[in-house]
Every structure is written in structure tokens, then in C-alpha cells.
Amino acid sequence: MTANSFGSRATLEAGGGKHEIYRLDAVPGSENLPYSLKVLLENLLRNEDGLNITKEHINALASWDPHKEPDTEIQFTPARVILQDLTGVPAVVDLAAMREAMRALGGDPTKINPLIPAELVIDHSVVADLFGTPDAFTRNVELEFQRNRERFQFLRWGQDAFTGFRVVPPGTGIVHQVNIEHLARVVMTHNGQAYPDTCVGTDSHTTMENGLGILGWGVGGIEAEAAMLGQPISMLIPKVVGFRLTGALPQATTATDLVLTITEILRKHGVVGKFVEFHGDGVGQVPVANRATIGNMSPEFGSTCAIFPIDAATIDYLRLTGRPDDQLDLVEQYAKAQGLWHDPDRELRFSEELTLDLSTVVPSIAGPKRPQDRIELANAKPAFRDALPTYTGGNGLNGTFPASDAIDNSDTRPTHQVKITLEDGAETVLDHGHVVIAAITSCTNTSNPYVMIGAALLAKKAVEKGLNRKPWVKTTLAPGSKVVMDYYERAGLIPYLDKLGFNLVGYGCTTCIGNSGPLPPAISQAVNDNDLTVVSVLSGNRNFEGRINPDVKMNYLASPPLVVAYALAGTMDIDLDHEPLGTDSEGKPVYLADIWPSPDEVTSVVASAVRAEMFTADYADVFNGDDNWRGLQVPTGDTFEWAGDSTYVRRPPYFDGMPAEPEPVQDISGAKVLAKLGDSVTTDHISPAGAIKATAPAGLYLTEHGIERADFNSYGSRRGNHEVMIRGTFANIRLRNQLAPGTEGGVTVKDGKEMSIYDASREYIAEGTPLIILGGKEYGSGSSRDWAAKGTMLLGVRAVLVESFERIHRSNLIGMGVLPLQFKPGESAESLGLTGQETFSIEGISEINNGRIPNEVVVTADGKQFTATVRIDTPGEADYYRHGGIMQYVLRSLR
């Protein structure tokens, strides 16, 4: 029972019943808080215990000063946790290992059990191996089960062994689309209480739920495990950026164009660690499908969340997706009673304000390597030509990324035409800039009926004009839920997509996560033999280097209709406004404008084809799965029986020899640099999710364990095996370690000898030498990939010293007992003259043993001395670090 210091407990009649609620208007100052902070305020009121959450915490939030730097810690208790399988498998592995560790410490292993609802969607395992054929989906699912049977059996065990843990089987949809279409509650009920649905997830794009008014964000798997075990999330009351929307989108634009525009604006403004909240008259002009697209890409702008308030459009979306009438009434009545219903005229407090007139948005793409690098479609051709030379012989191996300085744009570009013979015997020519992957993929857009119908209508018009995809383009369609194919079928649009090669390949996160599958052999060989710079175009949210496909250097994000258009064009070297996509049956040129569907056409088809009963039917038995899933042989028991010969699921070493009490934190001395990296190092660079090279340490490990190259699967699918993941850490094929200039991949130099980062780490560990990583700005941007921190720790890295961190990775490092340090503003490895060859000491962090978080530490490197900022931001994080990690802290707390 809450302390109820403000007398806020009350009763609400809604949804056919009475519910206990905690009224926000009982707290002075709550009236003009941003929507997102009101949700946090209710969380504190309901969980006030006088110890971890006090009256003073509640007052601090209600009297929030929007212009003050965050300095007040609060404890946020999410209502539920959502996981996907690439991040969820290691989380369940950790929970299974914690049960064994609990038993070893003399405790009850069944105490390790989710205390709040936890749902896992298997969506990241399907690979688009087969494409362009009617049976592509069936065959890809068969391959998925063949490759991942051990993992799926393990998850089935977890579903039976842990209470409150449910699994959505493979072949159902993408986690975030399944979340907003079915799992999301918007308002939760439990034990007679009604309260806001808040949800953290082990995927950075958990923020897609922000479009429904649900406060939540991506966390690392280790944080999610703690939340499942009842641990609140320690956080500082954040700054909130108000983003006022006005006007309405022009007819020729899509939600993708809007979100790429917002991404560019917010990246330039700087919102890392902040909440973003949309408000104003224009909110009502943005349907929930578009709001979800915007919320989805919050990690791409760097904010913690990007939330829309609840309004009539929210209720309409819940009704469309088959939620029951009682739930609709509860959501509306609760939101209105709590002042959480959107009122565009209400003036709220914000830390900073931005405004976008929706009518100024223009068709756009983003690339060739970052989602925030927006390009107006009208400028796509010259922008491509500017970037191409850096990939075809420019100064590409200095720093972490290829040089990005614009090159004089002339009428010529690098070209290297190569004749190839395809599998069907057809001959064609491949060149720099050719689009070899065109993928309608990712939760970002496939959850949006408007852009999906738009893509299908464009395909229909193209087929009717006699156009077809170019023969070198791998075309894939991977919707986020079965509902998409239902409304495609109802609208009669599937034959046109199939005609262009956009056959269904799977329901899951394929190309965007790096599961694009291999290119046809002739194309792959031509690319590699001739060092061709080819292109992917995908309707996703991530286009980082080395992520999409190992053969593809340049990657562009685009709306689903534009993905189809580029498949028809077959090249990025085209001005879609003025150059034809091809010719019709009479030899006349066909331009994009000739086949672009009008908004009225799209809206009409959406209205006639999308039905609530599709959602209720497809999700009726969502946890049961198909015959493949139900037929799995599943181990039993409270603790898991680890198979000694498994290359997928192994017991991790985090708790080996763990004492009942933590040992004192020690300063670091005699440390060497394992890698010196540049700016914008993503978690994909630190811990890739895609293909495993046969010659990489992870590939050699699998070969040694009798695994054939064809069965390697991906790093993402093998995250339950720490031996693979340690070897894969810093193994991205595009990573540039400045200690080994002129190389790419997981390479370093030790004692003058070039070797893999993994092998060097083993030698350093054997010598007892602690390691550090040096880096630049935006270190750890991208996915909420806990293995980027786990692998770093298991390589023997004690500290990471960079110019700036992305939020989730900094938190994950602390969660694994790795010290995050930041150069002082204006300083960097370069400005301090650090080569990475020095021996380092870090003094002052041992102060944490005395209950004080030092603001800075003294770093000494071969006589050079400077101070660095300690990025342990809260007392809760200090506890995690002192215990050697969050899992150790939780385990000791529950003993």
C-alpha cells in the first residue's frame, strides 16, 4: 500500500467497473507539467513507500524547473517489459544463470522470476534467404527453425519455467508492431487499480509505443532483467523538449518523409538523454500510425522517448486494432480524469521548444550511412555522386568512418561496369551505385497502413505500365504483422507486388537488423571481385555501416513507395523527379509522378481494406504458434540443463566465484588501450548482429566446434553463447581501430604485432593487464545492445574514455561493471596527444567505496595527466558499479 502522502487515492468508474487511481490534481504544481512527466508523477504517487520514493521526490517532480540541469534522482517502476529474441535470449540466459547462482549462495532459485508482465516476441531470427518466389515465406520459416531450434527450445523452457513470462512464436510479426497492435494496454489494470501503461524493452525502438501515449524506452537486457525482478529504474528527472506541430502534411509526402525531417532537426538540436514531447494543433493532423513511426525513430534522434499524448485519434486506433469497448472507455475516462488527454490550448512547461510546420515537409531519403543524414529526394542524385568517391578509392581508412567531405559534383562519377550472368541465364551489367537490395522492412514503416498501401498501389500502377524491377535487385517484403497481408489480400494488391518480386519473405525484422540474406552468387562475386560500391534501399530505421549486408557499402532509408521506385530504377544515380524509371509497352518513358498514388487513393483503400476483425482474428491465439513451435521438444525443471556441446546457449561466466558481499572498488593502474576509435561508433560496430565471417575469431570458434559455414547463422542469433559474442566484440567489418591504421574489422596491435582484438585481449588478461577503450563523440549510438557492454567487459576492458556517450550504452557499461569516463568539454584523445600506445592509470574512482560518486578522476598516460568526468550519474548506478554489475546487485539483494 502506498504512503499516500498527498491523499491522492480515489475511485474511477470506467470500462464497466470501479478502479482505484491516484489523482494527479492532488499534487500542487502538476497542472502544467508535460504529459510525460505527469505519467512519471503518477508512478511515484502509486509506488510511494517513504523509503525509495518519498513525499520529497513527488514534490521535486511536481515543482520541476524545466531550465535546470537534471540533478534529482527518482525511481521509475515500469508496468511491464517487452523483449525481442536477439536481446531476449541472453536476458533469459542470464535469469537461468541467476537461478543457479542463487542456489549456490544458499537462496531460493525460484525467487528469480518476473514480478511484472514480461512478453517476448521472436522476430529477429528470420533471414531473407529466399526471395522473389511464391514459397519464399514458407522456406525461410523452415530455415529459421532449422537454424534456431536450440534457441527456440530454450525460450519454450523459459515460458514454462518462469511465471509472468509469455512468448510470441516466430512467423507472427515484429515486436514493436505486435506491441502497438495487440500487447499495449495504454491504461493498465491490476489488483483493482488503474494506471498508465509504462513499458521498457530490450530493443531501442520500444519507443514506437510512444505514438500511443505510452511512456517507455529501450533499455539494455541487464536493466530489463532487473525491472522484471522488481527493481525500479534509477533516473534523473529529465529535461523535456516540447515539439510543437502545426499545419498538415503536403499531398506528395509520407510519414517517412516526416520522421526523417524530425530526425534531422532533433539531431542538430541535441536531445540525447532528454524526453521529446509533441503537442500543438498539428498533433490532431497526425494519425497514430504516423505517430508510431515518429516514436519508433526516437533512438535515431537520440532522445530517451518521443511521446504523443492520448487523444481521440488514440481511441480510434485502439478501436481499429480490435481492442474491446470496455478498454476504450477506460483509456478515455482515465486520461481525461488525470489531465492526460491532449488539449492543444493548454500551456505546458518545457525545457526547450521547437516547432515544425508540417506543410514544409518534402519527400526525403537518408544515407548513405546514418539515419539523421536526410537528403531531399530532389537532391538525391547529386548527394549520391558527392558521397560515392569516398567509397570507390577516396580516403576511406582514416578514422572510424570514410571521409564525408563533399566532393565537387560533376556530370561524371566513378564507374566500373561488370558483365554478369544471373542464375536464370540472363546477362546484365553491374556498376557502382546499383541498387542490389530493395527491402520493404522494419517496424518503422510496415506498421503504417498508409505507406504500405501506397507502396502496393505504386507497384500496381508500375505493373500496369509494363515496368519491372531491374534483374540485379533483391526485392523483399517483410511486414511487421500478418494484418498487412490480410489488407493487401482484401485490396487485391498482392499480385502486383509479387510481379515486381516483392513476395512475402517473413514476418520479422529482416533487412533492418542485418538479416537481409545473401545476394545472388553472381552479384556477390562481381561486387567482391571488382570492389563495387553497391547500394541498399530499405524502409527501415538503421542504415549503419556493415549492418545491412556485408557486400553493400552504401545504405539509404526511404518510404516503402520509394523502395519500390528504386527497385524499378535499379540505381541511386537517378533523378526521380526528372528521369524515367523505364518505358511502357509503347516505348514511352514512365516517370515516378506517373505512378505515384494520390493521398485520396491511399486513404480510400485503407478505409475499405483495413478492418478491426483482421486484428482480432490474427491475434486470437498469438501465443500458441504453428506446428513447428508446438512440436518443439522442451526441457523441464526450475533450472536449465545446459548442453555442454551447444553453440547457441551456454551458461555465462558472470557469477563464477562471486562472493556474497562485493569487494571494494579499486583504482585502475597499468592499463593498455585495446582500441582507439573515432566518432559515431555504434553498438553495431562494437557488437555486430549480422553475418559471421569464417576467418573471424567467432567463425574459427564455430568451425572448431564442427559447425559448417552454411550453419553459422548470425551474431544476433548466437547471443546466448558468450564464447561467440566475446569473439564478435569489436568485430564489425567496417570498424577502424586507429591503433592498426589501414585495416578494417576487429584488428589491433599489441607489442608491435597486428592481431585480432579478441586474441590480444586473451594475452592481456593472461598478463593481468587491465584494458581501456578510447573513443570520440556519440559513442555507443544505435541499438540497445547489451552485448556491446557484456562483450566489452569480458574482453577485460575496465574503462571506456570518450568525448560523449549515447544514453543506453553508457547505462549498459555500468550495468556490467565497466567505468564510463568522458573527456572534458573541448578535449579529446587528439587534443591531448594520446596515441593509444601509452600505459594508463585512473585514480579517484575508489572514492565510490565511501558512498560518494566522484565528479572526476585523474588520468595519467605516460606522464601526460588530465582529468576526466565520471559518467556514473545516480546513486543507483553507483550501487551497480560497486557490486560489479546490475545482475550481481540484484542477486545479492534477493538472497
Tell me, what's the pLDDT at 734? 87
Question: Are 44 and 6 a contacting pair, CB within 8 Å?
Answer: no
Q: One-letter amino acid identity for 212?
A: L
Bond preceding residue 368 cis, omega within 30 of 0: yes
Q: What is the mean pLDDT of residues 533-561?
A: 92
Instruction: Read off the pLDDT band of 402 (50, 70, 90).
Output: very low
Start-to-end C-alpha separation, the chain: 24
135 alpha carbon, distance to own chain's centre: 29
Tell me, what's the pLDDT at 412? 65
Q: Which helix (H) or strand (E) holds 22?
A: strand 17-22
C-alpha cell of residue 725:
559474442
Q: What is the mean pLDDT of the chain?
A: 93
Alpha carbons 718 and 794: distance in angstroms, whole number: 16
Which runs of E-coded beta strand occur in 686-793? Answer: 747-750, 753-756, 771-774
Residue where the block lists cell 540541469 = 69
What are φ and ψ of residue 23, in 5° steps?
Answer: -75, 130
pLDDT tens by residue, 722-737: 999 999 999 998 899 9
Instruction: Read off the pLDDT band of 787 (50, 70, 90).
Output: very high
Q: Of all residues in the chain, what percent are helix, strand and coil, respectively (each to 5)? A: 35, 20, 45
pLDDT tens by residue, 24-33: 999 999 999 9
Alpha carbons 388 and 537: distance in angstroms, whole number: 15
Residues of 842-854 as b/e, b for ≥16 C-beta within 10 angstroms? bebbebbeeeeeb
Question: Are 205 and 176 a contacting pair, CB within 8 Å?
Answer: yes
Question: Are 772 and 674 a contacting pair, CB within 8 Å?
Answer: yes
The domain locations on the chain are 9-62, 80-360, 385-616, 668-894
Alpha carbons 742 and 850: distance in angstroms, whole number: 46
Report whether pLDDT(695) > 90: yes
Q: What is the mean pLDDT of residues 327-335?
A: 98
Q: Which helix (H) or strand (E) holds 886?
A: helix 886-894
Alpha carbons 440 and 446: distance in angstroms, whole number: 7
The CATH class of 80-360 is: alpha beta
Tell me, what's the pLDDT at 408? 39
The single-letter DSSP state of residue 369 is S
Do the domains 80-360 and 385-616 sit in the same CATH topology, yes or no?
yes
Residue 166 burial by Cβ neighbours in a 10 Å radius (0-12, 13-18, 19+): middle
C-alpha cell of residue 412:
561524371
Question: Are 85 and 202 a contacting pair, CB within 8 Å?
Answer: no
C-alpha cell of residue 98:
541467476
Alpha carbons 286 and 269: distance in angstroms, whole number: 22
Per cent of the chain over pLDDT 70 is 98
Number of neighbouring beta carbons within 10 Å of residue 603 = 14
**Residue 779: helix, strand or coil by DSSP?**
strand
C-alpha cell of residue 260:
526523417
Note the pTM of the prediction, 2 decimals. Answer: 0.85
Classify 132 in phi/psi space as left (phi over 0), alpha (psi -120 to 50) or beta. Answer: left
Tell me, what's the pLDDT at 446? 83
Q: Given the DSSP bridges, would you call strands 17-22 and 9-14 parallel, antiparallel or unpaired?
A: antiparallel
**Residue 665: helix, strand or coil by DSSP?**
coil
User: Sign of the CA dihedral 331, 333, 338, 340?
Assistant: positive
C-alpha cell of residue 715:
551474431
The single-letter DSSP state of residue 571 is B
Alpha carbons 445 and 143: distance in angstroms, whole number: 26
Angle between helices 886-894 and 221-228 (to 10 degrees): 20
Question: Are 768 and 796 a contacting pair, CB within 8 Å?
Answer: no
Classify 687 in phi/psi space as left (phi over 0), alpha (psi -120 to 50) or beta. Answer: beta
What are φ and ψ of residue 71, in 5° steps?
Answer: -145, 0
Q: Does domain 668-894 have CATH number 3.20.19.10?
A: yes
Alpha carbons 447 and 177: distance in angstroms, whole number: 6
Q: What is the mean pLDDT of residues 675-681?
A: 95
The single-letter DSSP state of residue 312 is H
pLDDT tens by residue, 837-875: 999 999 999 999 999 999 999 999 999 999 999 999 888
Q: What is the mean pLDDT of residues 381-409?
A: 61
Between the alpha carbon of residue 136 and those of residues 39, 563, 871, the distances in Å are 44, 19, 48
Alpha carbons 815 and 242: distance in angstroms, whole number: 31
Instruction: Read off the pLDDT band of 398 (50, 70, 90).
Output: very low
Q: What does the angle CA 442 – CA 445 – CA 449 come to, to the nearest 5 degrees?
A: 130
Alpha carbons 775 and 65: distance in angstroms, whole number: 33
Instruction: Read off the pLDDT band of 395 (50, 70, 90).
Output: very low
Report whether pLDDT(406) > 80: no
In this structure, the dihedral spanned by the alpha carbons of residues 86, 89, 93 and 99, taken in order and rounded to 10 degrees, is 140
Tell me, what's the pLDDT at 25? 97
What are φ and ψ of residue 482, in 5° steps?
Answer: -65, -20
Instruction: Read off the pLDDT band of 544 (50, 70, 90).
Output: confident
Tell me, what's the pLDDT at 873? 87
Could you tell me the CATH superfamily of domain 385-616?
Aconitase, domain 3 (3.30.499.10)
